[in-house]
């Protein structure tokens, strides 16, 4: 279903998408954060891009773990431990279940999201990246269990990610740096949720464009 | 953005290299991973390590030395350092009595220090500073931010560690000082993170941000600028209210720290001290110790914070003990 070479393509697609969304992400973080989120995301993306070819030569679980460890020692801030926990969590789960079905990949994604929740002691509804990631993980599990095609899953998950991002607009922040601002955050989208929406869209678009995922004629 | 800058990616390393070169008698710089450690490693004491985003100088590297920290881990500007920095710093300065991390309560700092602590092969404990009373605390939020009160924790716990106290005692003193300390900041202008290249927030000439954090993150409210006395009266009132909320006495001996956020001159900081001291004295406090200057900055933000620490004999004794660091020096 997925190998290290595809993972590397996803990583490069994520980097391109984050760089393309600089203005949006930075603007959101300036409104209710402290202005370092985009810089940190960019630094993380560049560090992973720097791993480049070495990732493709590793088994998938080791490639995911390497990404996690690299992010942990590169990003700093809240994003570093959170995204590192995501990749390390995915790696651990795929070590148990080989990535030979959409269900196993969905389970690994879910484990990654659970690792973020544990590290950040956060849940849905707190105006964070989890308001994108949790519904995406839930839908991914459910769509995979229903036997939906990779293409169908990618299309729906893009939609779920966008809805999750939009849901942060009306929320109070109770985690992260925006949590000190009380009602002043209402009406603003969360920058971390925006980054995650951008990344999920990038990966899903890559999946939709990948000829190996096209239904056979 | 107008700054002394060669390339934004090299700014931190160039600044740290200058710091280490200028103060080579006190500190040593390690790169990859980056930390600042005491030049003369202390023996047989609890190792005190702090750290956080850069841009708050002299916090924390400026407090490495005799009577304060054993090492400091600087992150990127306004971004917490990474666990590998803390692990390397701990390896370098551990002296057999365990490691105490002093961490400002920000999600990123907390998580990175937490991951380092999980990997640390030594006995360890953490003091979390959370003195910023601008942030309303509740069990559902990340909680109050750690700001300039951190300097008082680092100074006094550093003194206790120097005397050979054990890890649990050092943590207990740090927690006690944190509980007895409240701060609030006000911004007149935004700061500019070099990598972002433009001000973090927009604020007009006629407005101030009351309760601003040390990264320029918004505070309690935006309001029109008034006479300094009126602004300071609100800040003092916020601290007194916080003392009452924490069930601390609103009288007794205190340490008053008037801290510049980076771009406010000493002339204005002393003006603030003048008013704050009168108001706090009228409230029933006796200011027996004081400190005025740039101790926990926010790069180039114009603004200031007030910090009040309710002293007792133990805290005052550790505040007075000899210290020799770049940022604080007395008694030796």
Closest CA to A40 of A78, A14, A85, A7: A78
Inform me whether the pLDDT recorded for B10 exceeds 90: yes
B105 contact A CB<8A: no
- Contacts with A, B 232-261, CB within 8 Å: none
Q: What average pLDDT does this structure show over B73-92?
A: 97
Query: For B8, which residue in chain A has the nearest alpha carbon?
Result: A39
Provide the ipTM. Answer: 0.90
pLDDT at residue B221 in the model: 87
Inform me whether the pLDDT recorded for B142 exceeds 80: no
- A2 band by pLDDT with thresholds 50, 70 and 90: confident
Query: For A120, which residue in chain B has the nearest alpha carbon?
Result: B111
CB spacing of B217 vs A34 below 8 angstroms: yes
Q: How many domains does chain B have?
A: 2
Inform me whether the pLDDT recorded for A215 exceeds 70: no
Omega prior to A122 cis, within 30 of 0: no
Report residue A190 CA to chain centroid gap. Answer: 14
Rg (CA), chain B: 19
From the list A33, A74, A79, the residue facing B217 with the nearest CB is A33
CB spacing of B115 vs A177 below 8 angstroms: no
Q: pLDDT tens digit string along A150-192?
A: 999 999 999 999 999 999 999 988 887 677 777 888 899 999 9
- What angle (nearest 5°) sits at the alpha carbon of residue B126, between those of residues B122 and B128? 165
Q: What average pLDDT does this structure show over A62-85?
A: 96
Picking from B31, B80, B114, B191 by the largest number of A CB atoms within 10 A of its own CB, the best residue to mutate is B80
From the list A34, A75, A175, the residue facing B200 with the nearest CB is A34
Report residue A26 CA to chain centroid gap. Answer: 17
Q: What average pLDDT does this structure show over A57-71?
A: 96
B174 and B118 in a common domain: yes
pLDDT at residue A214 in the model: 65
Domain assignment of residue B274, given as a range: 181-322
| Cβ-based contacts under 8 A for chains A and B | 118
Residue A215 lies in a domain: no
CB spacing of A120 vs B78 below 8 angstroms: no
Rounded CA separation A122/B172 (Å): 28
CB spacing of A76 vs B141 below 8 angstroms: no
B193 and B135 in a common domain: no
A80 contact B CB<8A: yes
φ and ψ of B259, to 5 deg: -110, 130
Residue A70 lies in a domain: yes
Q: Tell which of B180, B215, B242 closes a domain.
A: B180
Rounded CA separation B323/B66 (Å): 6
Residue A143 lies in a domain: yes
Q: What residues contact B23, with CB distance under 8 A and at least 6 apart?
A: B326
Residue A216 lies in a domain: no
- B332 band by pLDDT with thresholds 50, 70 and 90: confident
Residue B330 lies in a domain: no
Rounded CA separation B217/A34 (Å): 5
Domain assignment of residue A21, given as a range: 4-210
User: Catalytic residues of B, which ones?
Assistant: 56, 215
Q: Which two tokens stand for residue A95?
A: 């070590």
Residue A39 lies in a domain: yes
Inform me whether the pLDDT recorded for B140 exceeds 60: no
Q: pLDDT tens digit string along B188-223?
A: 999 999 988 989 889 999 999 999 999 988 777 899
Picking from B35, B82, B191, B299 by the largest number of A CB atoms within 10 A of its own CB, the best residue to mutate is B82
pLDDT at residue A173 in the model: 87
B21 and B159 in a common domain: yes
On whether the CB atoms of residues A68 and A86 are closer than 8 A, the answer is: yes
B127 and B74 in a common domain: yes
Omega prior to A107 cis, within 30 of 0: no
B86 contact A CB<8A: no
Q: Tell which of B114, B149, B180 closes a domain.
A: B180
The enclosing domain of A147 has a CATH number of: 1.25.40.340
Q: pLDDT tens digit string along B149-161?
A: 999 999 999 999 9
On whether the CB atoms of residues B243 and B308 are closer than 8 A, the answer is: yes
| Chain A residues touching B33 at Cβ < 8 A | 73
Q: Tell which of B154, B180, B206 closes a domain.
A: B180
Percentage of chain B surpassing pLDDT 90? Answer: 92
Rounded CA separation B257/B15 (Å): 26
CB spacing of A180 vs B200 below 8 angstroms: no
- pTM value is 0.94
B132 and B16 in a common domain: yes
| Chain A residues touching B107 at Cβ < 8 A | 78, 120, 175-177
A189 contact B CB<8A: no
B208 and B145 in a common domain: no
Q: What is the DSSP string of B107-159?
A: HHHHHHHHHHHHH-SS-EEEEEE--BTTSPP-TTS--PPP-THHHHHHHHHHH
Q: Which two tokens stand for residue B266?
A: 């000493």
Closest CA to B71 of B89, B96, B53, B97: B89
From the list B107, B114, B196, the residue facing A175 with the nearest CB is B107
| Chain A residues touching B141 at Cβ < 8 A | 174-175, 179-180
Inform me whether the pLDDT recorded for A216 exceeds 60: no
3-state helix, strand, coil in chain B (%, to 5): 35, 25, 40
CB spacing of B213 vs A180 below 8 angstroms: yes
B152 and B131 in a common domain: yes
Residue A19 lies in a domain: yes
φ and ψ of A104, to 5 deg: -70, -35
From the list B200, B216, B218, the residue facing A181 with the nearest CB is B218
Q: Which two tokens stand for residue A165?
A: 């991002």
Bridge partners, residue B309, by sequence: B181, B255
Write down the mean pLDDT value for chain B: 95
B151 and B23 in a common domain: yes
Percentage of chain A surpassing pLDDT 90? Answer: 81
B168 and B21 in a common domain: yes
Closest CA to B33 of B96, B76, B95: B76
The enclosing domain of B262 has a CATH number of: 3.30.1180.20
The alpha-carbon gap from A92 to the nearest alpha carbon of chain B, in Å, equals 17
On whether the CB atoms of residues B257 and B235 are closer than 8 A, the answer is: no
Q: What average pLDDT does this structure show over B218-233?
A: 92
Q: What average pLDDT does this structure show over B165-169?
A: 98
Q: In what order do the strands lie in the sheet with B71-77?
A: B27-30, B35-38, B71-77, B47-54, B99-104, B124-129
B185 and B122 in a common domain: no
Closest CA to B302 of B182, B200, B227: B200
Cα–Cα distance list, B316 to B49, B153, B328 (Å):
22, 12, 16
Cα–Cα distance list, B112 to A85, B32, B318 (Å):
11, 17, 29
Rounded CA separation A189/A21 (Å): 14
Cβ neighbours around B88 below 10 Å, total: 19
On whether the CB atoms of residues A136 and A160 are closer than 8 A, the answer is: yes
Q: How many domains does chain A have?
A: 1
From the list B196, B216, B218, the residue facing A26 with the nearest CB is B196
């Amino acid at each position: 279903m997925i190998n290290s070479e595809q993972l590397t393509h996803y990583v490069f697609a994520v980097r391109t998408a984050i760089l393309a969304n600089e203005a949006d992400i930075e603007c959101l973080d300036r409104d209710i954060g402290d202005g370092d989120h985009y810089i940190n995301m960019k630094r993380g993306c560049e560090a992973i891009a720097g791993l480049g070819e070495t990732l493709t030569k590793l088994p998938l679980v080791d490639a995911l773990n390497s990404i996690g460890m690299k992010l942990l020692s590169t990003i700093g801030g809240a994003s570093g431990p959170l995204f590192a926990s995501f990749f390390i969590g995915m790696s651990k789960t795929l070590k148990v279940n080989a990535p030979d079905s959409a269900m196993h990949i969905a389970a690994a994604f879910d484990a990654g999201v659970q690792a973020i929740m544990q590290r950040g002691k956060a849940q849905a509804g707190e105006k964070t990246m989890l308001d994108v990631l949790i519904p995406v993980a839930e839908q991914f599990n459910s769509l995979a269990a229903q036997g939906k095609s990779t293409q169908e899953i990618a299309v729906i998950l893009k939609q779920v990610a966008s809805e999750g991002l939009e849901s942060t607009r009306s929320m109070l922040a109770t985690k992260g740096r925006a949590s000190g601002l009380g009602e002043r955050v209402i009406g603003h989208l969360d920058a971390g949720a925006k980054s995650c929406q951008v990344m999920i869209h990038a990966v899903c678009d890559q999946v939709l464009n990948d000829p190996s995922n096209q239904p056979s004629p | 953005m107008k700054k002394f800058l060669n390339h934004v990616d090299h700014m931190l390393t160039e600044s740290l290299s200058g710091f280490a070169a200028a103060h080579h008698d006190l500190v040593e710089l390690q790169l990859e991973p980056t930390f600042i450690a005491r030049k003369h490693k202390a023996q047989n004491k609890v190792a005190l390590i702090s750290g956080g985003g850069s841009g708050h100088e002299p916090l924390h590297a400026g407090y490495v030395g005799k009577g304060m920290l054993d090492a400091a881990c600087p992150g990127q500007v306004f971004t917490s350092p990474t666990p590998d920095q803390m692990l390397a710093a701990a390896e370098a300065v551990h002296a057999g009595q365990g490691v105490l991390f002093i961490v400002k309560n920000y999600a990123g700092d907390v998580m990175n220090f937490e991951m380092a602590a999980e990997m640390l092969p030594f006995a360890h404990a953490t003091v979390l500073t959370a003195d910023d009373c601008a942030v309303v605390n509740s069990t559902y939020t990340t909680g109050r931010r750690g700001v300039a009160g951190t300097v008082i924790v680092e100074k006094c716990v550093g003194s206790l560690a120097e005397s050979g106290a054990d890890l649990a005692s050092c943590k207990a003193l740090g927690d006690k000082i944190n509980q007895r300390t409240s701060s609030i900041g006000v911004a007149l202008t935004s700061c500019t993170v070099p990598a972002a290249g433009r001000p973090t927030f927009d604020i007009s000439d006629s407005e101030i941000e009351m309760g601003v954090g040390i990264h320029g993150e918004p505070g309690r409210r935006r309001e029109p600028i008034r006479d300094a006395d009126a602004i300071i009266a609100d800040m003092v009132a916020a601290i007194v209210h916080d003392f009452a909320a924490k069930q601390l006495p609103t009288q007794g001996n205190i340490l008053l720290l008037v801290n510049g956020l980076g771009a406010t001159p000493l002339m204005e900081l002393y003006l603030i001290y003048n008013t704050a001291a009168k108001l706090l004295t009228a409230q029933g406090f006796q200011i027996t110790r004081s400190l005025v200057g740039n101790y926990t900055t926010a790069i180039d933000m114009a603004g200031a914070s007030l910090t009040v620490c309710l002293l007792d004999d133990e805290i005052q004794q550790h505040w007075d003990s000899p210290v020799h660091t770049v940022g604080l020096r007395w008694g030796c």
